[in-house]
């Protein structure tokens, strides 16, 4: 039997990504997001138009996607409710966001200059994808603040231990991405860390002892 419901969010599960983009002053903004998918060497990214990341990419389209593994979850959560924009919506204020210009320091992550674009990538990320935003599409109802960003990947950095003998392939048994599912962090199908974002969204706590 099925029921008709209206879930608060429809984050069924996508990889967590930290996006490096260039601020107007030339510094690198680091924006966490979890609505990303790939087809060939094209990535589609879903974000709010009010984010500093989208503002940056509208004016300066070069960027890096820093993929996140479970070992990085604590660092990621430290910046989950931070924003690189001094201006934020009432909804963000209500969820507990605050302004932070240096998210690398706040997260405890290491900057490394990218090779093709003028932003810093995250050294701790096992996979970094350098590229450029080719188009930004409004999505949702008229007046929606949501955007879909189309990115072309130009260079791929992969930690050596994740590669198969033929270096054209990443070993899916060794690559275990951190997943965000309904604002909660998961790794290997199990909860990975208590999520600040879930608290900000006022999501119900996980029932970890519930047997399915």
The CATH number that applies at residue 185 is: 2.30.110.10
* Domain residue limits at 116: 14-200
The answer to whether residue 166 sits within a structural domain is yes
Residue 10, pLDDT above cutoff 70: yes
Q: Which two tokens stand for residue 59?
A: 């004016």
The answer to whether residue 210 sits within a structural domain is no
The answer to whether residue 9 sits within a structural domain is no
The answer to whether residue 114 sits within a structural domain is yes
User: CB atoms < 10 A from the CB of 99, how many?
Assistant: 12
Alpha carbon of 69 to those of 24, 44, 128, 158, 160: distances in Å? Answer: 29, 20, 12, 12, 15
The answer to whether residue 87 sits within a structural domain is yes
**DSSP secondary structure string, 18-64?**
EEEEE-TTSPEEEEEE--EEEETTEEEEEEETTSHHHHHHHH--EEE
Check residue 104 and give its pLDDT.
Answer: 95
Give the model confidence (pLDDT) of 159-202 as tens digits.
999 999 888 899 999 999 999 888 888 888 888 888 887 777 67
Name which of 91, 103, 81 is nearest 195 in CA terms.
Answer: 81
Q: Which two tokens stand for residue 170?
A: 């990443």
Q: Is 146 helix (H, G, I), strand (E, B) or coil?
A: strand
The answer to whether residue 123 sits within a structural domain is yes
Number of domains forming the structure of the chain: 1
Check residue 211 and give its pLDDT.
Answer: 47
| Average pLDDT over the chain, rounded to an integer | 89
User: CB atoms < 10 A from the CB of 28, how many?
Assistant: 24
The answer to whether residue 75 sits within a structural domain is yes
- Please state, in angstroms and rounded to a whole number, the distance separating the CA atoms of residues 169 and 201: 37
Alpha helix (H) residue ranges in the chain: 52-59, 73-78, 90-95, 103-107, 196-200
Give the model confidence (pLDDT) of 119-147 as tens digits.
999 999 999 999 999 999 999 888 889 99
- Please state, in angstroms and rounded to a whole number, the distance separating the CA atoms of residues 165 and 204: 44
Check residue 40 and give its pLDDT.
Answer: 95
Buried residues in 163-188 as b, exposed as e (16+ CB within 10 A): eeeeeeeeeeeebebbbbbbbbbbbe
Cβ atoms 15, 68 nearer than 8 A: yes
The answer to whether residue 21 sits within a structural domain is yes
Give the model confidence (pLDDT) of 96-126 as tens digits.
678 888 999 999 999 999 999 999 999 999 9
Check residue 212 and give its pLDDT.
Answer: 45
């Amino acid at each position: 039997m099925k029921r008709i419901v209206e879930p608060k969010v429809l984050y069924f599960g996508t990889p967590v990504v930290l996006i490096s983009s260039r601020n107007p002053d030339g510094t690198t903004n680091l924006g966490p997001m979890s609505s990303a998918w790939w087809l060939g060497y094209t990535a589609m990214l879903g974000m709010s138009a009010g984010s500093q990341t989208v503002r940056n990419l509208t004016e300066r389209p070069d960027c890096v996607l820093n993929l996140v593994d479970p070992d990085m979850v604590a660092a990621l959560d430290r910046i989950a409710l931070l924003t690189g924009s001094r201006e934020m919506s009432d909804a963000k204020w209500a969820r507990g966001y605050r302004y932070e210009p240096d998210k690398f320091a706040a997260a405890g992550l290491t900057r490394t200059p990218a090779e093709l674009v003028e932003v810093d990538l995250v050294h701790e990320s096992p996979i970094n994808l350098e590229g450029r935003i080719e188009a930004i599409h409004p999505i949702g109802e008229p007046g929606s603040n949501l955007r879909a960003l189309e990115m072309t990947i130009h260079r791929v950095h992969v930690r050596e231990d994740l590669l198969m003998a033929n270096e054209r392939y990443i070993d899916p048994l060794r690559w275990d991405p951190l997943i965000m599912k309904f604002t909660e962090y998961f790794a290997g199908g199990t909860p990975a860390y208590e999520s600040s974002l879930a608290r900000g969204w006022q999501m119900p706590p996980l029932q970890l002892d519930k047997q399915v």
